[in-house]
Structure 1
Amino acid sequence: MIIVALKTTQSNAALVNLALGKPASQQSNFRFDNNNEWTADKGNDGNADTDMFNNHCFHTDDNTSPWWEVDLQDVYYISQVNITNRQDAGTERAESVEISVARQNPGNWQMVAYNEGQIGSFISLTFAPVKARYVRVTLRNKQTYLHLCEVEVFGENVPADDCAVNLCFNGGVCTNGTTILSLGKPASQSSKFKFDNNNEWTADKGNDGNADSDLFNNHCFHTDDNTSPWWEVDLQDIYDITQVNITNRQDAGTERAQNIEISIAKENPGNWSMVAYKEGEMGPFMSLKFDPVQARYVRVTLRNKQTQFHLCEVEVYGYK
């Protein structure tokens, strides 16, 4: 389980609520009667009235991992999300709240905060500033309704000269100076699958520098049939990680590589933090980029899938 350390605070006066009145959407719409429209826009209308029937809260239908999201209409440095829960009924439904961000939609969602258990009447989640345009609130792995009465997203503008001091994810043109850190480093996987005595699809084949996508040419790793199978690499030192490239198997079983989660840690065993997530099938190749995060270990997981896991090359990029 990934748990991000959180702290509950009041809003930073220097930051601006970027979500107010911006376009919002939700996984589904629940309609109680003809007089109540608990649509997504009620979640960021600036009115935190906690009585659902006063029509200032949103309400989804009964879904698995229900979500609400807002389009900030530009990329900002996001560092805080405040949530006001419904209080007239169903308060206990708001639990296992995950905050994820993305620069594009559809895109690669990055989890930035997670609160296990119920949130109560109000919660403020703060985290290291991350550049994003889209912010999503999800009840992770819950089968229930999602209804909240206000979501505030706090942050600030990305400086015009951001490329001069950070990696180029704001549309600028510059050289990021990153290198492949994973090549030939010690790797491991959740289990080993052996087809016959001539094939050893071990973890080290996942970062051997050969992206041949035919499994039987012995340059891909292959796990057994597991729940949430994973592959990981030990970079043998702590680096600033910014990107993970993945080459999928193409000769067969391509569709198994789906719901891919990239997690990192400084120690192993340690606390794993998700930095990127791609829902659905990935296709033959995928490049996941994110703001620099310090780590020694990088793990690729098929989140909540019961299947075999095989990829033909994983490249981890970063700098010291």
Structure 2
Amino acid sequence: ITEHPVLVLSLMYRSCIFSCTTASSIDVPLRGAAVQSSTYEGWSAGQAIDGSCSPDGKDSCTHTLAMDNPWWRLQLDGVYRVSVIEITNMYSTRKWLDGVEIHIGNSLVNNGNDNPRCAIIHDVPDGLTQTVHCWGMEGMYVNFYKPFNTTYLMLCEVKVYGGRNPFYQSKSSLVGAAVQSSTLPGWSAGHTIDGSCSSGGLDSCSHTGQMDNPWWRLHLDGVYRVSVIEITNMYLTRKWLDGVEIHIGNSLVNNGNDNPRCAIIHDVPDGLTQTVHCWGMEGMYVNFYKPFNTTYLMLCEVKVYGGRNPFYQSKSSLVWGWG
């Protein structure tokens, strides 16, 4: 499966005083540990998670040496779905944050800088706090990384908000109604969400007629952040799922197939279940779509896991509920 993490940057400026007074009293960063690629004298990595939004300098900000590709990393106390990151910049160092990438994931390859990217920072006014939305991306490492540069990296405060991945808390899949582009007699769209993982055929799988660009769509009972999708394939029909795209969103343009893409399915062994991570993509429609083909689309079971976006439920990251 080729997975495509969502790369979205949403920016809102606010003063540091406002940010500090409205932020949660329980912040994920305070339960993690920070390191950086190098340390300029006295400007330690931990000062970016000390709870102080002061952008004044040495006693409240981090600072690397001038070096190739500097980075700063926060290790959280577990694996979280990160919804929002707030970054406070120092006075007079606006240019050092321009172009910095934020990466989130569970790998320490390249010091964590090869994890999926949430955003690229641009235009952070001196001394102000900026909010970046990462839409539920999963990880225990949050990296700030300035690639392709010999420069400094400086941060005055980083606050990370999120919640536990509901897939690991509760194996209760989301509910909804299914439709498909056409139906071979007896192979209804609803068979794919009947709770049976049997890959035996007519009584347990969906099946379109042969047609151009076949699709299957699940209409959830609300707008969710989708974290994980499990797909069970039928025996002897491996080729029909190869190249199928998974799309998630809130639009019914082109029957929902123009919504943002989570992944492209490749190489699903006959009769087996495969797991796809969609990193908190938002939507009420989940589509399986086979473009540029005249073919069938068959699915034996689809289970979708996720929850409501915790950022809009509560600003207290460690007590947010999902689902």
Length-normalised TM-score, structure 1: 0.49
Which structure is larger by alpha-carbon Rg, 1 or 2?
A: 2
TM-score normalised by L of structure 2 = 0.49
The answer to which structure has the higher strand fraction is 1
Structure with the bigger percentage of helix: 2
